Chains A and B, each alone.
Chain A
Amino acid sequence: MNPGNVEAQWPVQVQTNTDRMDGIANTIINETITVNRARAGDTAAFEELFDKYKSFVWNVAYRMTCSFEESEDLTQEVFVSAWKALGSFKGRSSFSTWLYRITVNKTLNTLRRRSPAGCKTDERVFGVVDKEIFMRQNPGAGVESCEVEQALSKLLERLDPDRRMAVVLREIEGLSYEQISGAMDVPVGTVKSRIARAREDLARFAAQMEDLK
C-alpha cells in the first residue's frame, strides 16, 4: 500500500466517524426533546414517536401472534399504555428500551392469556399467514415472500413464547443482546441461552417438516 494514500485517507476516515457520531448524538437529542414534548401532553410529538416505532411494535406483535387482528389490537394497546405511562417515564433508560419492554410484556401476556398450556397449540389457535391479507398489506411483496412468511410462522409458533420473543427480536428486528436483555428484563446470558435453544428447536422443527413432505 502506498503510504501517501494512507495519509490522504486518514482525515477522511476521521471525518466520517465524527459525522456518524454527530448523527447518533443528534438523533438521541432529538428523540429526548420529542419525548419531553409528549410528556408535556403534546400529541403531535407522540405521533412522531408512533411513526418511528409503529413498525417495530406491529412486527413483533405479528411475529408472536401470527394474527393481523391481534397485532393491530396489541399495537394499539402498547401505544396507549405508553401514552398513559409517559408521566412515569424518568428517562433512566432510552425511550426505545422502555417501549420495547412494554411491547414484550403486553405481547407475552396476551399469549399467556390466550393459551395457558404454553402457547404450543395448533394453527386453529395461532392462525396462519393469510396470503390474501398478506399481499394486501405488502403490495410490493411477491408470492415467494408470502411463502417464506408462512413457513417462518409455522416454525415460530411451535417455539416456547420466551424463546420465540428472543429469537424474533434478534433475528428479525436486529436488536443487540443488550437491547433484548433490557426489553425482556433478563440477563444477557439468559438471552443468549434462549436464542441458542430456539435455534436448536427451529432446526429440529424444520427437519420434522421436511420429513413430512
Chain B
Amino acid sequence: MKPDDLFRKAHRMRPPESLRGKVMERINSDEMAEDRHTSLWGRLWTHLSTRHAASWSMAVVTVALVVAIRLAPAPQPEVVKPPDVSTDTDIAEFVDEMLVPVFGVTTNFSDDSLDESENLDTYIADQLSEIFWINGGYDA
C-alpha cells in the first residue's frame, strides 16, 4: 500500500480513559500546587536554593562581599597644595633642584648675585635661553 493511501486510511486513535485520572491526580497534588505559576526567576531561585547547596553558599558569600565593599569607608583624596614660590629664595631652590640635575646648568642664583639692573624675570629668561641653546636651539 502506498504511503498516501495509508495516511488517508489512518485515523486518530482514542487515548486511554485512565489518562485523565493520572494527569489530574498529578496536577492536584500539593507539590504541583506549590510549583506552578512561578515565574522563571522564581523557578531559578527554587532550583538554586534547593538543589545546589554550593551555589546557595556562593550567593551568600557574594552578597556579603558586596555589602562589605559598600560599607567600607572610601579613602579621602589627598589634597595637593601648590608650592609656595612667592619668594626669591624659593625660586632659587627650585631652579637649583630642578634645572641643575636635569640640564646640567650651573645657576649660582642668589639674591646677592643680581645686579640692580637685573630682576628675577631677566635672570630666568637668560637661564632658559641658555638651556634652549645647549639643547640645539632652533635646530633641535
Contact = CB atoms under 8 A, between A and B. Distances in A.
B32 A148 contact: no
Interface string A56-89: 0111001000001001100110011001101110
Interface string B1-32: 11100110111111110111011101110001
B39 interface: yes
A141 B12 CA distance: 11
Contact of A171 (B7, B28, B35): B7
Contact of B12 (A55, A71, A152): A55
Q: Which residue among A51, A79, A141, A144 has the maximum number of chain B CB atoms within 10 Å of its CB? A: A79
Interface stretch (A16-24, A42-50, A98-106): A42-50
A162 B11 CA distance: 21
A155 interface: yes
A68 B33 CA distance: 28
B36 interface: yes
Q: Which residue among B6, B16, B28 has the maximum number of chain A CB atoms within 10 Å of its CB? A: B6
Contact of A137 (B3, B14, B22): B14
A86 B37 contact: yes
Interface residues of A, number: 43
Given A72-B19, A80-B23, A58 B6 contact: no
Chain B interface residue bracket vs A? 20 to 34
Contacts of B39: 87-88
A79 B14 contact: no
B38 interface: yes
Interface in B81-109: none
Interface in B30-71: 32-33, 35-40
Interface of A: 39, 41, 43, 46-47, 50-51, 54-55, 57-59, 62, 68, 71-72, 75-76, 79-80, 83-84, 86-88, 134, 137-138, 141, 144-145, 148-149, 151-152, 155, 171-173, 199, 202-203, 206
Nearest 9 pairs between A and B by C-beta? A58-B15, A87-B37, A202-B3, A171-B7, A152-B6, A83-B27, A148-B9, A79-B23, A59-B12
30 contacts: A47-B20, A50-B23, A51-B20, A54-B15, A55-B14, A58-B15, A59-B12, A72-B15, A72-B18, A72-B22, A75-B23, A76-B19, A76-B22, A79-B23, A79-B27, A80-B27, A80-B32, A83-B32, A86-B36, A88-B39, A134-B13, A138-B13, A138-B14, A141-B11, A148-B1, A152-B6, A152-B7, A171-B7, A199-B3, A206-B3
